[in-house]
A and B are shown apart, each in its own frame.
Chain A
Amino acid sequence: MNSLWSLTLATLVKDIRLEWRSKDALNAMLFFSLQVVVIFVFSFDPLAEESRHIVGGLVWVAFLFAAVVALNQTWARELRNQVLDAYRVSPAPANALFLAKALGNFLFVVVLQALMVPLFVVFYNLRALGPGWQLIPVAGLGTWALVVNGTFFAAMSLRTRSREIMLPLLLFPISIPAVIAMVAGTTAILTGENSAHFYIVLLLTYDVVFTTACLALFETILHAE
């Protein structure tokens, strides 16, 4: 177990270092999300009241699509020079690689959210009428739901010919329950009309189920030919 976490940390540090030097994923995600914000602002120009009802959907769709960019990048760098084979021939546990990739993607998407949320607030004139602190568990659990499945399916589509297309085709349908919970939870908090408690529990359950499933199956995916 000690080895699992120490290798997870070593791989995570390595991935952060690579991303810091190349900025492939962060730049692509940032510009993509920025475009979504600007395009929607000019398309809808909503009042504050309307914004509270639609922005939950907008913000999570933007993050979902942006996350796909990061998810593709995270495995693409393992394919360059076939570095993944060096991991496959080593005695390191497969789950250390999976956890590091999922945590790395989580971190990158959280950085993106930290940069983009103030823009959403400003452009859509947002103020939460419900308990604002609940946005933190909704965002955290929702983001994990996206990246844990995304990391898994991105690894699964690694060896397919058109993996950039395969990832959304696999990821989006399975993410529907999580996306519904994220959007409904965010809307409930922003409008203050309903409690977001149910959606937080739903996201927590979803995360536990899919994290367990991904960890159980990842070794098979890693060593598949």
Chain B
Amino acid sequence: MTEVSPSISSTIVVENVIKQFGRFAALRGVSAEFDAGRFHAILGDNGAGKTTLLRALAGLARPTQGTISIFGKSPQAACRDIGYMAHPSLLYDEMSGMENLRYFARLYGISGDGRCAEAIRSVGLDPTLIRGVGQYSQGMRQRMSLARSVLHDPKVLLLDEPFSNVDVHSAREMVQLLKGRRDTGKTIFVVTHQAMLLEEIADEFIWMEAGQIVDRTTSVDRGANSCRGVL
């Protein structure tokens, strides 16, 4: 097991975050610092709190207790710096990929089709496709969802199971795409059950159990003993 030492260049700081849904605590006192420009893979069994942590980082789940700081700001204040991709596509099925991205671009004050077309091409799709996203294959939808999340060129990318239901070839392509973004200085968090896909790329593996971060390693090997389901 290789410990990752905290760095003064930490851009994301989570301090004693507790998130309760009624009487159930999804996050139980999570504290961590994450460096900028690194690829963080968040691993753990179902119900470990991975998605809740990601939603808290995105500002979608307000902590019951504790604070989250992204570049010194709250997640809500730092929303322009955050790109979020959820397990569902966050896209309108009846609209084409380009129509979807054109609308979401407006939410970030981006006008014109150039950036939208570029984002769609960057995930290996064709911006001229006119059929609705609802008629895309699952893999295409995942890619389009990724295009939506990178549209405004965020400094931090939060991706929840981006490789689920995607064939191995497409998943590897998406990994390379994310690697490229990490190499340009973006901070990336990926929640996944397919840790092996990220073995070569991730800078850090964050292990969660029962709403807590139980380990942080630079290798995926640690999970072989304590998180059998993940691998």
Contact = CB atoms under 8 A, between A and B. Distances in A.
B84 A89 contact: yes
A161 interface: no
Interface string A91-111: 110000000000000000000
B88 interface: yes
B86 A85 contact: yes
A89 B104 contact: no
Chain B facing A: main interface SS = loop
B224 interface: no
Nearest to B58: A89
A113 to B, nearest CB: 25
A89 B79 contact: yes
A81 B90 contact: yes
B99 A17 contact: yes
Chain A facing B: main interface SS = helix
A212 interface: no
A162 interface: no
B172 interface: no
B106 A6 contact: yes
A22 B109 CA distance: 28
Interface in A54-97: 77, 80-83, 85-92
Contacts of B89: 81
Task: Name which of B82, B89, B94 has the most chain A CB atoms within 10 A of its CB.
Answer: B94
Contacts of B58: 89
B61 interface: yes
Contacts of A81: 88-93
- Chain A to chain B: the 10 pairs with minimum beta-carbon distance, closest first: A90-B107, A92-B107, A86-B90, A10-B106, A82-B88, A21-B94, A81-B88, A81-B89, A89-B84, A14-B103
Interface of A: 3, 6-7, 10-11, 14, 17-18, 21-22, 77, 80-83, 85-92, 223, 225
Given A80-B93, A89-B58, 17 more contacts: A6-B106, A10-B103, A14-B95, A14-B99, A14-B103, A17-B95, A17-B99, A21-B94, A77-B92, A80-B92, A81-B91, A82-B86, A86-B104, A86-B107, A86-B148, A91-B80, A91-B107
